Structure 1
Amino acid sequence: MAGRRATPTGRYGGRTAAERRAERRRRFLDAGLEMFGRGPGYRGTTVAALSEAAGLSTRQFYEEFSTLEDLLAELHLEVNDLAERDVLAALPSVEGLRLPERTARLFRAYAASITGDRARIRIAFVEIIGVSPRLDRQRLTRRARWVDYICAEAAAAAERGEIADRDYRIAATAFIGSVNGLLHDWSAGWVDATLDEVIDELVLMLMGRLHSSDVLSTPRPGSPGPESLGR
């Protein structure tokens, strides 16, 4: 077609066009992680500055991404995909463990991945917030996957008789909200604690929710008190 450049397919420098393009895309993603996660942040970054950081041109950026938002969206998914992969990889090592040890190890596998690079925390819990309705939907969709995972773990533990057999979806959602909120505030410097202290607190919180009593210690209005149960 006249006026349209053909996509190169041959080898150059020992690499195919697809390999060169993948490397170029990776350079933009790495520059985005650096600038969004450790530098001026998503809102403080321009296409020109990011392209310069990647050692590429703005024309090359627009061959890979339509907007900086697209790059941020891909980074957010990548951070979550890495954490999910690391949790799944940890599953064989927790087979046969009791729920407290199993839960602690799996959450620490998640935490080690998501916090292994502080830039990942900022991408996952800070920069993604309030960018657009599209990214809000993406963020909530990924949160829902983690809620589903916790519910599946809780259901398996209930089958083994380790915890009560009940619906844990509200508890799981509350916990994931706590993870997001606490890591956001810690990353912003609003929580005076080490990362290990933050992770320890989140593990205790999750275990507390999974082991919460079926019967509330403080009866709801209109419900029978403990002294009336069993009469």
Structure 2
Amino acid sequence: MDFTDQRLSYEKGQLDQQSIPTSPFELLHTWMNEAIEAQVQEPYAMSLATCGADNKPGVRIVLLREITEKGIVFYTNYESAKGQDIAENPNAEALFFWPKLERQIRISGSIAKIDTTKSAAYFQKRPHDSQVGAWVSQPQSGEVANRAVMEQTFAQLQAKYPADSKVPTPEFWGGYEITIENIEFWQGRANRMHDRIVYTQDNSSADGAVNWTTKRLLP
């Protein structure tokens, strides 16, 4: 298949370095809200890239569940392939891509588990069957003989934990937070003259305050 003749001209917006906020979190909130208002399908879905000790990168889609004062939070199985990568190399990168708005946000930084109490509180907010499903995926990405085995395990767990009962939070499941060190906002423009603004965390302040520097990148 040849896609060399397939292309679009991006003409829906612009990103002016002179008018952006001093903190990237303000712009992150603004863009996320605009994606929600534009009814982008699952605007909080992001590609998460990790790399373990084998130096082989892995990427998959996960769901953003919170923007904090210092980063972004998602939840997963700690014993999954990404969990193993993070244990070996606590750095990660996330990418949001919203074609409808011709925008991307690229986030990189250090990553660590969040407090277990907070993870448990979120787990109990999930739909009951999603809670049950988390117990089926153990170990996540592990080999299974066929789908029937999965469905049998799911049915057994549904019987063990009926809809009106509490499903315990698995010890192998919880949240991670990526502390943002660099974040790039990309706005598509015509003629491939895209706008790219990068915020970089500046920790040189004597009072320990987190400041940010910005720069424009060539497309």
Please indicate the TM-score interval, normalised by the length of the shorter structure: under 0.3
Bigger relative contact order, structure 1 or 2, given CA contacts below 8 A and separation 6+?
2
Q: Quick check: which has more Rg, 1 or 2?
A: 1
Q: What is the TM-score when the length of structure 2 is the normalising length?
A: 0.25
In the superposition, the TM-score normalised over structure 1's length comes to: 0.24
- If each structure's helix is expressed as a fraction of its own residues, which one has the higher value? 1
Query: Structure 1 or 2: larger strand share?
Result: 2
